[in-house]
Amino acid sequence: MTATLANQAERATDASSESAAADWPLGLYRVLKAAGVRQVTYVPDAGHSRLIELFNDDSEVVTSVLTTEEEGIAIAAGAWLGGQRSVILMQSSGVGNCINTLSLSAVGRFPLLLLITMRGEWAEFNPWQVPMGLAVEPSLHAIGVRTLRADTADDLLAMASSAAVLAFDSDQQIAIIISQRLLGRKQW
């Protein structure tokens, strides 16, 4: 009898973990809202699609679709100067588009919080994504952006909470790297 109850509890815990892992965007949305994020900028990306939907549906948050990722850094600077907290959502290939503009946050010493979905790693089918996938973290480090890498939903939520404090309370530039493994295999 005891073994059966233990097995049932274990299965319930596994199901709960799978459910939390499947809906990490909702958990991330809640963490960012609790951190006071009121502006979200993004280039449309399948990895961020659910998170984008949640913020687009929130009347307390201003969302802006970017034509290029570097615009998000300028918007983040303006948001901070205007007394608001922001986050930029991008895919790893977008890091290369904004490497020069990232110096604005370092030199201007304003907080920057980036959420970067990865391509070019685990189960990647597109060889064009691999070079930038390899260069994301070294490029960010070279320009002075600290990176935190999330491979699980639990890690992501804990890191987002910590990164928000580091960015907004200590005027740091932080990028959370959301691994391709967490996102799942991309298929066309």
**What is the pTM assigned to this prediction?**
0.86
For residues 118 and 94, is the Cβ–Cβ distance under 8 A? no
Domain 24-183 has CATH 3.40.50.970: yes
Check residue 61 and give its pLDDT.
Answer: 98
* The pLDDT value given to residue 41: 98
Q: Give the model confidence (pLDDT) of 71-130 as tens digits.
A: 999 999 999 999 999 999 999 999 999 999 998 998 999 999 999 998 878 787 788 888
Locus of tokens 């998000």: 72
Q: Which of 178, 171, 160 is nearest to 31 (CA)?
A: 160
Q: Please state the domain extents for the chain.
A: 24-183
3-state secondary structure of 175: strand
pLDDT confidence of residue 170 = 95
Q: What is the pLDDT of residue 125?
A: 78
